[in-house]
Every structure is written in C-alpha cells, then in structure tokens.
Structure 1
Amino acid sequence: MTIKYLLYGSLLAMSVSCSDILNKKDLSAVTDDQVWGDAKYATAYLNRLYEKNLPKWEGEQDRDGDGANSIFYSSYSDEADGGGGVMYGQLTTASCDYWYYEDIRNINMLFEKLENNEAIDTETCTSLKAQASILRAWRYFCMVRVYGGVPMILLPQKLTDDLLVSRNKTSECIDIIIKDLDYAYENLPWSWTGDDLGRATKAAALALKGRVLLYYASPQFNPDNRMDRWEAAYKVNKQAKEELEANGYGLYASYEKIWYDEMNREVIWGRRYQEPGATNKWNAATRPLSEAQNYTGANHPTLEMVESYPMVTGVPITESKEYDPVLYWKNRDPRFNVTIAYNSCTWELSGKAGRKQWTYVGAELNAPTATGFYCRKAVDPSYTSYYTERSSTDWIEIRHAEVLLNYAECAAMMGKTEEAYDLLKAIRARAGILAGDNGMYGLKTGLSSGQMIDAIMLERKLELSFEGKRYWDLRRRCLFEAELNGKVRHGVLPKLNIPEEEFNKIKDTADFDNNYATYFRDSLVILDKNFAIDFKDNYYFYAIPNKYLETNSKMEQTQGWSGGTFNPLD
C-alpha cells in the first residue's frame, strides 16, 4: 500500500496492511496508549496528518481568500476570469479565513506523544516527527503569507493553559518555520521507495525552505529591500538546486508529461491520488462541459495570458515579424499549445481521435467558456467524462522548475545576472524554445538586475501557469497595482462568417491553420464587465477574521484594517 492510497480514509482504515489491526473486532476502540505504543498505529496517525495537511489541487482547498470552500487562484490574477471580492476591492474583515489551528493541534499532538517515547524506537520517532515538521511548517507558512505574524503554538494546548495567545512577530514565525524545515531536512531521506513513495523528503524540506525565504525577501515582507534576506534566500535556493540535482532530481524531458508520468524526476513535493478512494475534480472543472461531468467553468485563460507567450524563438509577439494576430497560435512557445485550447484546435478529449475544440458563438450551448479559451494543462485527454470528477492525477506543489526560478530571482536580486541567465535558458530549452544563433533562447542580452527580474516574473507566469503560483507571485512582489489595478481582462468571441449548416459540412476537413479568417472573425470581449480590477493595498496582509478576534482578547487585528494595531512587517 503506497502513500498514494494511505492518504485517504480514517486513521485506522489507513492501516489495513497491518494484520494485528485488522484482527481487532472493534477498530474504534483503539486507545490513546495503543496509538502511541505501537509504531504502526503512530504511522497511521501520521498518514492522517498527511491527508489533512498536504497541499491539494485548486478547487479542493478547505480555506480560501474569498469566503468560499472551492477556489481557483488563477481567477485571482491575470491568468483567468473571475476573482470576486479579491479582485474588485470588496473584501471585509470577515472574508479571508486561512486558520489552520485544529490541524496544527493534531500535528502538535504527534510531537508531544513521541517526545521521550519508550515504546517506539528512536529512529522511527525521529522519522515521524521529521515528516510532521514539514506539514506544520507548511500550515504555518500558509497563514503567514496572508496574515503576517500569527500565534506560533508548538504543543497541544490544555484546558489549564492560558488559551488567549498573542500573535508572534512575522520574523519569529519565519524563524520557527525554518527550524521545522531544517529538522525535516536533517532527518528525512532524499527519496522513498515502495510503499512509502510520496512521503516528505529532504528535497521537499529544502525546496520549501527556499520558497519561504524567497517570500520573506520579497517586497510584500521586505519593502526596504534588506539585502541580508535576499542573500539568505539566494544561498538556500542555490543549495537546493545543487543538492537536488546531485540526488536525482531535475527538469523532466517533457513539459506536457510532467503531470501524467507520475513521480518523475521533476516532482519534489505534492499529493498523490488514486481512484476510487482518492480523487480530484481538476479535469471536470477545467474541461468544457460537453467532456466533463457535473463541473465546469474554471481556469478559462484570458487574452492577456494567451498573449504573454512568446514565439517559438522566445521573442515576444510584439517584437516578432512572424506573429499573425489572426493565426495567433502558430509558431508560439511550445508551452502555449500544452496550456491553451482555442477555437479550431485539435484537442482529443475523452479519447476522441481528431476531436476539435469549438468556442465560436453557438458551438457550446451549455456553460461556454467566457474567454474563448480553455486550459489544457494537466487535463488528461484519455479520461472519459465520467472520470473527470474522479481524476487520479497527482498534485505537484513544488517541482524542480520552480526551484530554478526561485534561485534565478534571488541571483538577479543579488546582481548575479549571469547565473539567472543560465537558469532561464535551461527552462526555455526544456520548453522547446529555439536557442537561436546567439544561444539566448530569445532572452535579451545585457539585462540589468531589474530587467532580469521582469524576465523572471514573465517566465514564472508561463512555466508555472495555472499551477496556483501567479496570484502568490503578484502578492509577494506587490505587483497588483502596477500590472492589474484599473485594468480589465479580456477574451475573444469567435463568430462564424458562413451559415452554420455550411460550416458543419467542412469543419472536419478545412485547413484552419491557414484559412481561419475565411470561416471566423474574432471579437474582443471585456471580462470584468462591472468593475475594473481594484486590489487594495491592505490586501497584501489580510485581516484576521472577526470570529477569531472575538474569542481572543489578546489577538490584534492587522494594521490597515479597522482597529488594526499589529504590524506584519515586524
């Protein structure tokens, strides 16, 4: 039984391979002493912590920034349409609930019960605690990146304790998160095999540490641009790149198949799925409704996202003589066709050979895409509609390309632009962009540090598109005002130039790559119809929800919100 299966079900159900557990008549009668007196039970407890705390596919989250239970962060950016109150300046102090203390208490329970535990051998106790450390670090990081400092509780609170706790300084939170990740790094293997494949590793701890320090060095947390933070982030991300590659990690050969060839060398940390017990709905939510079941409407790429992809030469479309605004999909960065489905493209969903995707007016009668595009990334074309809401595709939270991009950004901020160039070229080479005569893959030579940062942020937008990273990048770099505020996002609306009856006769054989304009005309549509984007300055650190303030008199509200006194930059 692999971790892919272990991550789901109840505490005891996850231990079905253990014969002594199965032989018990009443599994619910397992006592606390039994759990912490037997390594198999304690491991089952840890497996439950994995299930509750590992990052998930978008749409599967149990918390979000807009009061709903199911979100897609692509809509909180320029990747896709939507976004609600986050994008239109309509949040309140009750809107953003990222409060994980019930989960953290359960993690802390493991630490308490394994401290000086004489029933379980020291090596096993250390391994279990190291795995739990990365889960606790992740949960606290998920709160700190939205609130700044939060109460750092490291042991289960008892009724006799003072339950009214204050927020720790953000700097203290980061130190504790890093300490947990260091413990995980020191005590976990580089990889697991067999039944344990998918557990936390040194690689995951080191890569996540690099991400945490990158955030802490970024303008959201570092408006004064303290270079000691960038230096710390640079050292760890460089270390991560070098040590991961020395231990078998690296860029996978196929950008498209990263999501389908599971646990490949690029995968550093994520969540495993296996139908029927552990599934997700990414495919259903992202596909057109005709090829899905019960879900659709998420991750529709905007025109702005579509136009961000350069040509196959790496040159921006605005600077290329080869770019055709009508046949805009031709000769683009190969990641374009892995990510974007457009009107007339071949997209063999549900295993339908030669199937074309139509988004023209009238082609989709139920829940058509609002933008004229669909997202193809990680959408498995072999799934029939039935399996789209029962997907087994693993979620990849951190992959090696992100490690390279994190390292590149830190290098650029340290003035080490040549290192950044090498990292970007490696990513573009894997993507299939042409090297060109100068071997620069379309990158301009002689970039300043600031220009290199712009190039890196674009590369992150392209390489990590629809992986839930763009929103967080816009936040940590404080880019909403410069790149989105006051603007509206756009899509395209294809319309037929000939009667549909005539079109139906030729649509399977016509050459749309050369004669698209004969059959269609694309109109520009505004997606943000009621309001322009208005991401407020105080959204970089959300308010603590009122319900948590009302039950804790020591909890300060964040500065910038009503009654706020807590400085998230301390």
Structure 2
Amino acid sequence: MKKIIPFLLIITFFSCKKDVLDISPEDRISEDAVWTDENLIKAYHTELYNAIPHGFYIHMYSKYTDEAINTAPCCGADIFKQDTYNPDNITGVSGGDFWGGYMYYWNQGYQYIRKINVFLEKMGAQDAIQFQDKARLIAEAKFLRAFDYFELIERYGGVPIVTQSYALGDSATFKRNTFDECVAFIEKDLDEAMPDLPARYLSTDANFGRATQDACMALRSRVLLYAASPLFNTDNDRQKWQKAADAAGALLNSGYSLYPDYRKLFILPSGAPEDEYIFCRNFTTTNGHQAPMHNLGRRYGAYGGWWASNGPSQNLVDDYDMTNGEPPFVYTNGIQSVNPASGYNPSHPYWNRDPRFDASIIHDSTIYHGDLIEEWVSTDGNQWGYDSYKQSSDNPRGGYILKKFMPDADVPLSWQQTYTIPWPYFRLAEIYLNYAEAKFELGDEAACRDYISKVRARVGLPPIPATVTGEALRRRLYNERRIELAFEEHRFFDIRRWKIADSVENTPIRGMDVIKNLTTGVTTYTPVQLIQKIPYDEKMNLLPIETNEIRRNPELTQTPGW
C-alpha cells in the first residue's frame, strides 16, 4: 500500500536569511532538542506507555460481549449492542473514553508503532547521546512495540509489520504479514528486550508498571496461548500448545502469589503491597481515573456505565458456581435447568454462590457503602426501590451494577474524587489459567484441574473433581476463565479465539426482574430477555479495517469476510 506518513513532530523550515527566519521556536520544543536532552528523551519515552489501552475508559469491553447489558445509544459502543459493526462504522470505537476505549485499535496502534520506531532509531544513531538508563529504555520500547502488535493481531489477525519510521512526503508499500510472522516478530522484540530489563519490580516500587523480564514473559504467555487457539491454529498444531504451556510454566515459580482477598485485590490503590500483579497500569491523583463514577448507579451520582450500559448480565450471573463447587444450572440441547446437585434456590438466587459473585456484582439486597441496594419493582409497577431502573435511566435495566474495581466505604464516591486503583494487564491467576488451558489441550487433564483448582481455592471453592474430564473439563476451564477474569477485557477475545462466539453471541442477553409484593413482602426473581443480537457470522471473530483505510491502501487486504 502506498501511504503518506505524517511526521511525529511537524517542523517547518524556511530557507531565508538566518537572522530573520532561522530562529528556534519559543512556544514548543524542537525535534532536535528532544534527542539531545536526557530529560526530554525520558519524557518522550514515558508517553510511549500510552500505546497500551487500559480498561477504565467510559466504555469498558464488558459491554461489547455477554458480560454486560449494552444499552448505549451512541458513541461507538452502540454498534456492539447487536453486533452491527462493519468497515464503515468501526472507527466509532477508535478513541478513548466516549469513543470506544480503543476497541478499533488500528489507528492508535500504528501511531504508537511509529513513535516507538522513531525512539529506537534516534537511540541507535551514531551521534545519539549516552546516559545511564539508555539500554533499559530501549528494551522497554521493544516490549511496548511487542504489546502494541499483540493488541493488533488479537483484533485483526496478521497485520503489516513496520520497523522504521517515515518522514513527511515518504511513500511506502505495506502488506499484511501472516499471523505467525507477527507472533515471531513479537517474540523477537521480547527476546531482545529481556536482557536489559530487571526481573521485576515490587508493587510498592515507584517503577512498578514499567516493563520487566516477567512482564515480557507474561506477554509471551498470552501471545502463544492465542497463537495455539483454534482461531489461529487451524490444524491444531500440538507444538504451539507446548510452546504456550512452556511460556506459562516459566512464570509459575517466579515469586508471585494469589492475593488472599479477591474483592480487595481490585480496589487496592496503586502502590499498595501485593504479589499477584505482574504488569499493570498505575494511576496517581494527578492522572487518575473515574471508573467508579462511570459505572456505579445513580444513588451515588454515577452513570451505570453511561446510559446504564455496563450493568452485568444475567448470562454472567448464571455462570457463577455454588459454594459447594457445583454449577447452578445444566444445559440440555441448549435448554437451561437447575442442577439438582447444586442446591440453587430460584427464590433466593444469590445465596451460597461463588464468593467472586458478591465481590464483582452488586445485586438486590447487597450492602454497599453502608447502603441497602434495592432493585425491586412492586407487583403493580407503581413503586420501586431506589436503585431500580425505574428510579433513574442511569440505573442498569438488568438489576445488577458493577462492583469489581469499585471502592469500599473508606473511599468517597464523587466526581471530585480521583481514583488510583490500577488496571491489571497481567496477573498470576491468568498465568495459572493459561497453563491449565495449554495442558488440557496437550492431554494433561490432571494438571489442568490442578491449576484451575488453585485459582478456585483462593475463594474457598472445592477443587475440580477428578471425575470431570474431556469436554466437561473444557467447559469448566472456559467458565473458570470467564468468572476469574470477568470485566478484565478477556471475554471478548476469548470466545473468539475459542471459536465459540457464534453460540455465545447468538444467546439473548438477559437481566433479572426483581418483583416485590408490598403486601406480603415476598420478592420473586424472574430472568428477562433484554437484547437479541443479529445472527453472528464467522467473520466477526476478527474486526474489520475501516473502509477508507482500504481505499487509501489498495495493497492492504480487508479482514476475511468483511
């Protein structure tokens, strides 16, 4: 494809009298000055970390899949409400906050690849300045480029690999590289980065959140797991599963441990002591976020995900096990019925559930910030609880509110408050589940059960019984990942790489009608269908590239099927 590449820093030079026009600008820093000043180089480098999207934008990826009930009326998120995205509208989710949280990552990704390439070229120039941390910064930049490429390939499959920057007026031809070529390039960047990085930083270290050897290993684990998955490993090459198992296994004994309190882990402020996060985005009071105010209900002056569009779904709630370790439901030919071994009681659907349910989701009768949450509507529909969707359009329709990442009562809830809860990119529980999945695919079901059970043991759930094997074990594996990593931006990509998105996305999105008889005081709970998406097509396993990008670059092929 032929494309004019814009300059990172546009500087206009006029050839004229030196004493008239050859004057250094005083309202900005010239490009030459950046690369001759250690502090400016470090400032440029620090900004490169913005290449990696975090999950606290207004639109979380939970609403793009079956974790939440997407009621967004606009602003990009609406095109995932019923999967109506296409090459003509996909750029509606190409920005941060209101505009989709960078789900369409093409523009953001390549802008930062260019910035990283500029940095690497300037640092590698013969006349480049020398300073103490230079090798480490170069290594961090290579890690960031590897992460950037992973963000691209999980969305689009193989993409063009660009390893140099281009000046204003340059033309160049790019074509898609294969997915496997992109994986090899990511591994090469990680291999080159690791020798000049520290093994890890403790969470209390001011440098925690910068690239480390362990962060490289965690990224490699995820990349190779995806590469081995059915979407990208079409002939089920066992060697790819072995590489995925080895990559995850390399981190199993690296000094990390599961934080003992699942609920508390996700509300610790940046800099708090813990040993589960391997790599995360930290925040400060000057560059913090407002995820609680974006996602809580109107009781707290919040917006429920904006337009109440991030309320957890009944689909997700149904998948939390009971405390005896049994799933609450079984499915026969797609028909749901109560699992008699579970002890599930439809009259009290929130009793005796996996503790991660109450840690992650606010429901009717939850006590949160000292308040009794009331989601009920009276039998005649004329009265309702303060947290009901009838009270405010900023209260989610489905009867649930996000609790994961929402602070406890010791932290004020206010738009004037800046929140410093970090965003986890990689944590030990994911590595355990990566390892479990790879070992399952290699036929080592005992190891798979063992590492699923390690994750479950944190919240007091019994281990997966040895009698759970084959496809039944696969279902438990997939479900464990769904529950443990809920709202952490895994679900959208997991169901696609597993090639089960057709089943998941074609299942109606449901909420819970909570009906209270004000005479008897009896409350009933009835699931209700709220969204039916358009029929899922296999092409939706990957995102399309915007139409205008294809028109500008005729040698760039569209994502298959689009």
**Which TM-score band (shorter chain)?**
0.7 to 0.9
1:358 to 352, 374, 378: 374
Q: Does 1:104 align with 2:103?
A: no
2:60 to 67, 72, 80: 72
1:90 to 75, 84, 91: 84
CA drift at 1:205? 0.8
Q: Does 1:523 align with 2:555?
A: no
Q: Please name the residue that 2:215 is paired with.
A: 204
Q: Does 1:53 align with 2:81?
A: no
CA drift at 1:295? 6.1
Q: Please name the residue that 1:16 is paired with.
A: none
Q: Please name the residue that 1:546 is paired with.
A: 547
Secondary structure of the equivalent of 1:397? strand
Q: Does 1:498 align with 2:515?
A: no
Distance in 1 (CA, whole Å) between partners of 2:324 and 2:26 is: 61
> Where do 1:374-385 residues align within 5 Å?
374-382=401-409, 383-385=411-413
Write the deviation string for residues 446-475 of structure 1: whole angstroms up to 9, x where unpaired. Answer: 443443322111100110111111111111
Q: Does 1:227 align with 2:253?
A: no
Secondary structure of the equivalent of 2:173? coil
Secondary structure of the equivalent of 1:234? helix
> Where do 1:106-505 residues align within 5 Å?
106-116=115-125, 119-121=128-130, 124-159=133-168, 161-192=170-201, 194-242=205-253, 244=254, 248-261=255-268, 262-263=270-271, 264-275=274-285, 277-293=286-302, 296=305, 297-317=308-328, 318-320=339-341, 322-348=343-369, 353=370, 355-361=371-377, 362-363=384-385, 364=388, 365-367=391-393, 368-382=395-409, 383-387=411-415, 390-433=418-461, 435=462, 441=463, 443-485=464-506, 487-498=507-518
CA drift at 1:387? 4.2
Change (3 A) 1:389 1:467: farther
The gaps in structure 1 that reach 5 residues or longer are 1-10, 12-24, 61-69, 436-440, 500-516, 562-570
CA drift at 1:521? 2.2
Secondary structure of the equivalent of 1:225? coil
Change (3 A) 1:117 1:393: farther
CA drift at 1:389? 6.8
CA drift at 1:357? 0.6
Q: Please name the residue that 2:4 is paired with.
A: none
Amino acid at match of 1:45: Y
Secondary structure of the equivalent of 1:526? strand
> Where do 1:33-44 residues align within 5 Å?
33-44=32-43
Q: What is the aligned length? A: 490
CA drift at 1:366? 1.1
Amino acid at match of 2:392: N
CA drift at 1:26? 8.9
Secondary structure of the equivalent of 2:117? helix
Change (3 A) 1:391 1:295: farther
Distance in 2 (CA, whole Å) between partners of 1:288 and 1:84 is: 20
Distance in 1 (CA, whole Å) between partners of 2:66 and 2:304 is: 22
**Is 1:249–1:266's contact at 8 Å kept on the other side of the alignment?**
yes
Change (3 A) 1:118 1:446: farther
CA drift at 1:532? 4.2
CA drift at 1:111? 0.4
Amino acid at match of 2:59: I
Distance in 2 (CA, whole Å) between partners of 1:89 and 1:197 is: 37
CA drift at 1:170? 1.6
Amino acid at match of 2:400: F
Distance in 2 (CA, whole Å) between partners of 1:385 and 1:260 is: 13
Q: Please name the residue that 1:31 is paired with.
A: 30
- TM-score, normalised relative to structure 2: 0.82
**Is 1:164–1:553's contact at 8 Å kept on the other side of the alignment?**
no
Distance in 1 (CA, whole Å) between partners of 2:141 and 2:340 is: 50
Distance in 2 (CA, whole Å) between partners of 1:27 and 1:250 is: 51
Amino acid at match of 1:366: S
Distance in 1 (CA, whole Å) between partners of 2:304 and 2:354 is: 30
Change (3 A) 1:533 1:445: farther
Distance in 2 (CA, whole Å) between partners of 1:476 and 1:343 is: 34
Change (3 A) 1:139 1:54: same
CA drift at 1:335? 0.8
CA drift at 1:420? 1.3
Q: Please name the residue that 2:538 is paired with.
A: 537
CA drift at 1:533? 5.0
CA drift at 1:184? 2.5
Amino acid at match of 2:82: Y
Amino acid at match of 1:76: Y
**Is 1:86–1:535's contact at 8 Å kept on the other side of the alignment?**
no
CA drift at 1:556? 1.5
**Is 1:284–1:389's contact at 8 Å kept on the other side of the alignment?**
no
CA drift at 1:75? 2.0
CA drift at 1:281? 2.7
CA drift at 1:177? 1.2
Write the deviation string for residues 68-118 of structure 1: whole angstroms up to 9, x where unpaired. Answer: xx5322122221112744463422222333212112111111100011455
Amino acid at match of 2:65: S
CA drift at 1:146? 1.4
**Is 1:198–1:271's contact at 8 Å kept on the other side of the alignment?**
yes
**Is 1:415–1:449's contact at 8 Å kept on the other side of the alignment?**
no
CA drift at 1:160? 6.2
CA drift at 1:392? 1.8
CA drift at 1:311? 1.2
CA drift at 1:214? 0.5
**Is 2:218–2:248's contact at 8 Å kept on the other side of the alignment?**
yes
Distance in 2 (CA, whole Å) between partners of 1:292 and 1:191 is: 39
Amino acid at match of 1:401: A
After superposition, the CA RMSD in angstroms is: 2.4
Distance in 2 (CA, whole Å) between partners of 1:370 and 1:520 is: 17
Secondary structure of the equivalent of 2:527? strand
Amino acid at match of 1:391: Y
Change (3 A) 1:284 1:27: farther
Change (3 A) 1:270 1:28: farther
**Is 1:311–1:331's contact at 8 Å kept on the other side of the alignment?**
yes
Write the deviation string for residues 135-158 of structure 1: whole angstroms up to 9, x where unpaired. Answer: 111211111111111111111113
**Is 2:288–2:419's contact at 8 Å kept on the other side of the alignment?**
yes
**Is 1:283–1:380's contact at 8 Å kept on the other side of the alignment?**
yes
Change (3 A) 1:379 1:388: farther
